Amino acid sequence: NAGVTQTPKFQVLKTGQSMTLQCAQDMNHEYMSWYRQDPGMGLRLIHYSVGAGITDQGEVPNGYNVSRSTTEDFPLRLLSAAPSQTSVYFCASSRDRMVTEAFFGQGTRLTVV
């Protein structure tokens, strides 16, 4: 059972570079979301999607873009990386409503220098 798969696990970027964090789930979940985790800040929602073709902003969306062309995939794009985006990023999926169990990926540790 793969669940939620995130790639890469680790990444170092230079300021101003762009990149895409990949997230894929094989549970046919409708809801997918991206969080960032910073020390003392908990999990903060970046963007989320309630189904293919539908996305919306979370608490900290600036500097990030998402798209949802298929049910399985929900990539997160950093347009022009900044040191403030150094964080651990988690992708999560849920079966239907947001209130059901969220399954998280293993995370991507991103460092922007």
Partner 1 sequence: QQQVKQSPQSLIVQKGGIPIINCAYENTAFDYFPWYQQFPGKGPALLIAIRPDVSEKKEGRFTISFNKSAKQFSLHIMDSQPGDSATYFCAASRADDKIIFGKGTRLHILP
Instruction: Give the residues lining the site for partner 1 (CB under 8 A).
Output: 4, 33, 35, 40-45, 48, 58, 90, 92, 97-99, 101-107
Tokens of 63: 């500097």
Rounded to a whole number of angstroms, the minimum distance from the CB of residue 100 to partner 1 is 8
**What is the H or E stretch that residue 21 is in?**
strand 19-25
Considering the complex, state which of residue 56 and residue 79 has its C-beta at the smaller distance from partner 1: 56
Considering the complex, state which of residue 38 and residue 79 has its C-beta at the smaller distance from partner 1: 38
Rounded to a whole number of angstroms, the minimum distance from the CB of residue 62 to partner 1 is 17
Considering the complex, state which of residue 17 and residue 50 has its C-beta at the smaller distance from partner 1: 50
Rounded to a whole number of angstroms, the minimum distance from the CB of residue 49 to partner 1 is 12
The set of residues, in sequence order, having a beta carbon less than 8 Å from that of 11 and lying 6+ positions away, is 19, 21, 108, 109, 110, 111
Using CA atoms of 64, 25, 104, 23 in order, give the dihedral in degrees to the nearest 10.
-30
Chain-centre distance for alpha carbon 104: 10
CA distance 30 to 26: 11
Considering the complex, state which of residue 2 and residue 99 has its C-beta at the smaller distance from partner 1: 99
Rounded to a whole number of angstroms, the minimum distance from the CB of residue 88 to partner 1 is 9
